[in-house]
Amino acid sequence: MSSKTQTPDQVDVRGPRFAAWVTTAVIVATLLVWPLSPVVSATLLAAQAVVFALGAWRGPRQHPYGLIFAKLVAPRLGPVTDKEPTPPLKFAQLVGFGFATVGMAGFALGVPTLGLIAAGLALVAAFLNAAFGICLGCQIYPLVARFRRTITTPSPV
């Protein structure tokens, strides 16, 4: 869902895509390093999990990769033409945090298959967003938001 108007809870769509490219690179490095050092893979994925956690908690403007985008990349680009809402992006970061945490635990605890699968799923999601602008977490968000409203809204008696 994009809009050309600027509101406080929307961001330039190019920022999250930039973050997805950086995330893709980190996860590719994680997977490439794994045969040589599962500890390094666990460490890389732990660092990415922290980045995801910050993105889920603080939002795309305060996300480490979002800050890099705002300071170094955005000033070199043309004006913003498309924006997207932040709640689905924060949810997507929460989902990424889950996969990164499971992957890190798999590598750290000697269950490499779990680590590889979780990191691979995170890689697919990050690459789809980076290359094609398809944010899987953002696609799932409306369903979760609807379910959450159903649970928190008391039914009339």
Q: What are 13-54's pLDDT values in tens digits?
A: 999 999 999 999 999 999 999 999 988 999 999 999 999 999
What is the rounded (10 degree) CA torsion for 64, 67, 72, 76? 130
- pLDDT confidence of residue 127: 97
Quote the pLDDT of residue 115.
94
Mean pLDDT of 116-137: 96
C-beta separation of 137 from 94 below 8 A: yes
